[in-house]
Structures are given as structure tokens and as C-alpha cells.
Amino acid sequence: MSARHPQALFEHSPWVEARADAAPSSGDRHADLMAVVHGASRDEQLALIRAHPELAGKAAIDGSLTEASAAEQASAGLDRLTRAEFDRFHTLNAAYRERFDFPFIICVRLTDKAGILAAMEARLANPPEAEIAAALAEIGKIVKLRLEDQA
């Protein structure tokens, strides 16, 4: 992490910020960061997606979420699930990971538990390439909000 960015914008993926910092700036930090993401190899994009925690998953229970992810999941009420909701998240997370081999990603600050569950169910039907694009778009939304938090 650079001194300019005290909290990582991307989950466990400092290479995105490092590459953006090494390239000429367009004056739009978010656009510069997302240009790095979209210019990355497919393997790098998948690694970035896989660096994200499952929603209401093991990391939320064992306390290993990043500070930003914990706060974001809490904002959507994912730290206060009923047993039935937790079981539904667990089932959908498992089905999603089985289908795509990466965690479901959504900008939880822009929705709620019901919206997240509905999106998980709907996006399970996506072809893999569409879901990779959707995950990267959601990461873009997450990063935009994190940048706004730093401003």
C-alpha cells in the first residue's frame, strides 16, 4: 500500500494500485485503477475476484475479513443474519463457487440482504464470462465507494 492509500482499495491485491501508480494518471483515480483491472490477464482478474471473501461466509465468522469488508457486510446486515438467512447464504455461496470457482461479488453497500440473495440466485444462471464481467463491475463499484470514503 502506498502512503496515499492507507486502506487497500482492492482485497488482498496491492498490484492493482501499484500498476496504476506506475502509469501516467488520467486525473481520474477510479478510471486509472479500473483500466489496470481490465488490462490485466484473465488469470490476474480471476485472482482478484478470488481474493474477495464470501458474503456471510467463513471469514465473517472467524474474524478474518478486512476491516473494509467487515464494515461493508455489516452495512447490509450480513452480520445479523437469522439462522435461515445464514443457511440460505451458505447454500447459495456453495452453489455459486461450484459453478464459477470464485466467490459471489456484489457491492453490498448498494443493496440489502434480500437484494443480495435475489442477485445470487439470478446470477447463478449467467455463463462464466458474463459472471466474470459482473464480478469485475461490482469490484469497480466497491472501489469507487472506498475511494469516496478516503476523500
Catalytic center residues: 52
Query: In terms of C-beta density within 10 A (0-12 exposed, 13-18 middle, 19 or more buried), how is residue 48 classed?
Result: buried
- Contacting residues for 118 by C-beta, under 8 A, at least 6 apart: none
φ/ψ of 63, rounded to 5, equals: 80, 15
